Amino acid sequence: MLDTGTLIEVLIIIVKAWILTGIIFSLPMPLTWLERKVAGHIHVRLGPMRVGPHGIFQPLADTLKLILKEDIVPDRADRFLFKLAPLIAMIPAFLVFVAIPFGENVTIPFINKEVSLYLSDMNVGILYVLAIGGLGIYGIIFGGWASNSKYALLGGLRSAAQMISYEIALSFACIGVVMMTDSLSLVEMVRAQAGGMHHWNILYLPIGPVWFVIFLIAALAEMNRIPFDLPEDEGTLASGFHTEYSGMRFSYFMLAEYVAMVSVSVLIVIMFFGGWHPPLEGALFNLVPGIFWFMAKAIAFIYFFMWLRFTLPRYRYDQLMTIGWKILIPISLVSILITGLMKI
Partner 1 sequence: MSNGPSRITDFIKKALFVDFIKGLAITLRYNVSRSITLRYPDQEKWVPYRRFRGQHTLNKDVNGRELCVACELCSKACPTKCITVVPMEDDSGRGIADRVAKVWKVELTRCLFCGYCEDACPTRAVRLGRDYELACFDLSCATKSKEELLEPQSIPETIKGGFVVKAKFVRSPEGIKVVPDLRMSKKRLL
Helices (H) and strands (E) in the chain, counts: 14, 2
Choosing from 57, 310, 317, 325, the residue that interacts with partner 1 (CB under 8 A) is 310
State in angstroms the smallest separation of the CB of 153 from partner 1. Answer: 32
Distance (Å, rounded) from C-alpha 329 to C-alpha 326? Answer: 7
Give the nearer residue to partner 1 in terms of CB position, either 48 or 176.
48
**What is the distance between the alpha carbons of residues 218 and 169, in angstroms, rounded to a whole number?**
6
Q: Is 210 or 298 the residue whose CB approaches partner 1 more closely?
A: 210
Residues numbered 207 to 266 that lie near partner 1 (CB under 8 A) are: 213
Is 50 near partner 1 (CB under 8 A)? yes
Q: Does 326 bind partner 1 (CB under 8 A)?
A: no
Site for partner 1 in 88-117 (CB under 8 A): none
- Per CB under 8 A, 333 contacts partner 1: no
Parallel/antiparallel/unpaired status of strands 113-115 and 106-108: antiparallel
- CA-closest candidate to residue 20, choices 161, 120, 89, 149: 120
How many chain residues bind partner 1 (CB under 8 A)?
16
Of the candidate spans 34-42, 55-63, 114-122, 254-262, the one that interacts with partner 1 by CB under 8 A turns out to be 34-42
Cβ of residue 46: shortest distance to partner 1, in angstroms? Answer: 5
Of 71, 236, 307, 326, the one binding partner 1 by CB under 8 A = 307
Which run of H or E residues covers position 173?
helix 150-181
CB of 269 to partner 1, least distance (A): 20
DSSP string, 39-56: HHHHTTS--S-SSSGGGT
The nearer residue to partner 1, 286 or 311, going by C-beta atoms, is 311
CA distances 22 to 16, 25, 26, 27, 201, Å, are 10, 5, 6, 8, 31
Report the alpha-carbon distance of residue 59 to residue 160 in Å, rounded.
30
Q: For binding to partner 1 (CB under 8 A), which residues are involved?
A: 38, 40-46, 49-50, 213, 307-308, 310-312
